[in-house]
Copies of this chain bind each other. A is one copy, B any other.
């Protein structure tokens, strides 16, 4: 239910921005709203297909670009793998990637955010966007 509500909210926002909601876009929005992980284009294509929606991979890419341009989703480009996507409803956060399992953990630290802005400001810059990724491994218990 949560999923459908979120998908509808996205459609609402998109329509308001003048973006047409086609059958394939509606399907992709649902797959995205339902994803607890951070799927890439191919996985999204497979999920949409399994859900019975006829969508081409080209359209998946085109839709993802459009959704990103609208700020509805966020593209994640981790090292050495195809881009992944996540819905952008909650607040900003950074990512931790378990190099052994590939699992992605989200986190947010206000102090780091503030420090970044300070560093940029000290050098005469303002931050447009930033990327912070921690490639980690589970600590073995002593």
Pick from B99, B119, B133: contact of A107, CB below 8 A. Answer: B119
A1 within 8 A of B: no
Given the interface contacts A79-B77, A107-B119, A130-B133, does A138 sit within 8 Å of B125 by beta carbon?
Answer: yes
- State which residues 92-142 of A face B: CB under 8 Å: 96, 98-99, 105, 107, 109, 111-112, 115-116, 119-121, 123-139
The binding surface of chain A is classed by DSSP as: strand
* Chain B minimum-CB-distance residue to A136: B125
Report Cα–Cα, A107/B115, bound state, in Å: 12
Given the interface contacts A77-B79, A109-B119, A115-B112, does A132 sit within 8 Å of B131 by beta carbon?
Answer: yes
Which among A109, A111, A136 has the greatest number of chain B C-beta atoms within 10 A? A136
Residue tally, chain A, CB below 8 Å to B: 32
Given the interface contacts A126-B137, A130-B133, A139-B126, does A115 sit within 8 Å of B109 by beta carbon?
Answer: yes
Which residues of the other chain, B, contact A130 by a CB distance below 8 angstroms? 132-135
Binding site for B on A (CB under 8 A): 77, 79, 96, 98-99, 105, 107, 109, 111-112, 115-116, 119-121, 123-139
